[in-house]
Structure 1
Amino acid sequence: MYNQDPQHGITLEKMLTDLVDHFGWEELARRIPIKCFSNDPSIKSSLTFLRRTPWARAQVEQLDARMRR
């Protein structure tokens, strides 16, 4: 059976990398105003924050889903 969820099997790291590639850090920080995106951003530090912060991770997942449509 085919899974219709466009995010199925996509890791948080892949989502974040794709968002940064698409929007850049500055626009990502504007769309999701969290410090790890605006203050010396990196994939590693952002992943650490997002894995500990469910509300921020949910926002990243929502933006990723909108981008993949």
Structure 2
Amino acid sequence: MENTQPNNPLHGVKLADILEYLTQKYTWEELANQININCFKNNPSIKSSLRFLRKTPWAREKVEQFYLHSIRQ
């Protein structure tokens, strides 16, 4: 099967994998400083962050953009 989205760097990357990567590279406090969303500030966990980000497209977009920025460095 050929790649249907060759210009999309997030194609095939799960939101859970993005959060796992970010939490291994940064602390929750660092993430909250970089991305100003409450799921990283108040009692953060991967499970609660996934729940919030799946319901909130603007926040998910910020996390995905930060992920892309961090993997390019």
Assess same fold via TM > 0.5.
yes
> Between the two proteins, what is the percent identity of the paired residues?
51
Identify the residue that residue 17 of structure 1 maps to in structure 2.
20
**AA aligned opposite 2:14:** T
For these two proteins, the number of residue pairs brought into alignment is 69
Q: Which runs of 5+ in 1 are unaligned?
A: none
Identify the residue that residue 42 of structure 1 maps to in structure 2.
45
More helix by share: 1
Shift of residue 24, structure 1, vs aligned partner: 1.2
| Larger RCO: 1 or 2 (CA < 8 Å, sep 6+) | 1
Shift of residue 62, structure 1, vs aligned partner: 0.1
Identify the residue that residue 10 of structure 2 maps to in structure 1.
7
Shift of residue 6, structure 1, vs aligned partner: 3.6
What is the distance in 2 between the residues matched to 1:6 and 1:58? Answer: 13
What is the distance in 2 between the residues matched to 1:7 and 1:22? Answer: 18
* Equivalent pair of 1:6/1:68 in contact (CA under 8 Å): no
Tell me which structure has the larger Cα radius of gyration: 2
Task: State the TM-score, normalized to the length of structure 2.
Answer: 0.84
What is the distance in 2 between the residues matched to 1:57 and 1:4? Answer: 19
Moved over 3 A (4+): 1-6
C-alpha RMSD of matched pairs (Å): 1.4
Task: State the TM-score, normalized to the length of structure 1.
Answer: 0.89
